[in-house]
Amino acid sequence: MKPRKHKHKESFSILLISNTGQNSKQFHVSHVFLRLLTFFLVILCVSFGWLMYLYWSGIETKIADSGLSRKESAGESETQTELMERIAAQEKIVAQLEEEKDSLSRQNDALTSENKALLAVAKGNMEANGEEQEQAGENDTAFPSRYPYSEQGIVTEKYSEDHPYVSIGTEEEGNVIAAGDGTVSMVGSDDTYPLIIEIEHGNGYQTRYMFLQEAEALQQEGAQVQIGTALAGVDVHNVQLDYQVIFEGQPIDPLIVFEAKG
């Protein structure tokens, strides 16, 4: 017979002794049980530690979130306060601009009314001055306003810069007359005109009567003439008279100052 091998199992004995005289108890605990118990305790401790970590982490997260929320709320409050201050400042500026606009509008209305009044006064003054000047022109016989020919003359060429006088075609048996009161300052001729008569009117005006054909002078230098006085007789048909008005040394359009008769 083969000898049997007996498995040796190690175990721990736990003896519980009672101090009260009761029976003592003894327990046998194997290594496997101790190992399982130890492993269980380790797992329990680790689990407890992990739960505590999660618990405190949650509290810290809540605290952090609460702090952030407070900061964000404070930031939002500050931002809203700044926005309200900006809006109030802009509303104040708008109100000031509206006041300035109203003030400028009132000033503009006042200036417009004043301008209209001034224009009305100026217009009245101009009309009054025009009437006075017209009356003065009518009353001032020295003003060369008379047509310089006694008959029906025809203006053959008007005044221009290249032609600083008017050309009038005369008829036989008419007279060239003074356009206003004045003094005969010249009776002469040149290479173009056989007869030239010039009158000084004494108010800045001079008149010059220039004949392209022969004509008879009826006045001499120094003679005082009145408006309408005959200066020269026209004995030849269709004599051309070049009539010139000079004001302060510069020729001007005679049609502006004399009254046309034909």
What does the domain layout of the chain look like in residue ranges? 25-139, 154-256
Q: Which residues contact 140 (CB under 8 A, 6 or more apart)?
A: 203
Element (H, E) at 186: strand 182-188
Taking residues 103-116, what's their average pLDDT?
84
Distance CA 208, CA 179 (A): 10
Q: What is the pLDDT of residue 247?
A: 92
Quick check: pTM over 0.95?
Answer: no
Higher per-residue pLDDT: 30 or 257: 257
Higher per-residue pLDDT: 193 or 145: 193
Over residues 178-226, the pLDDT tens digits come to 999 999 999 999 999 999 999 999 888 999 999 998 888 999 999 999 9
Over residues 31-58, the pLDDT tens digits come to 677 777 788 888 888 888 888 888 787 7
- Span 154-256: which CATH code? 2.70.70.10
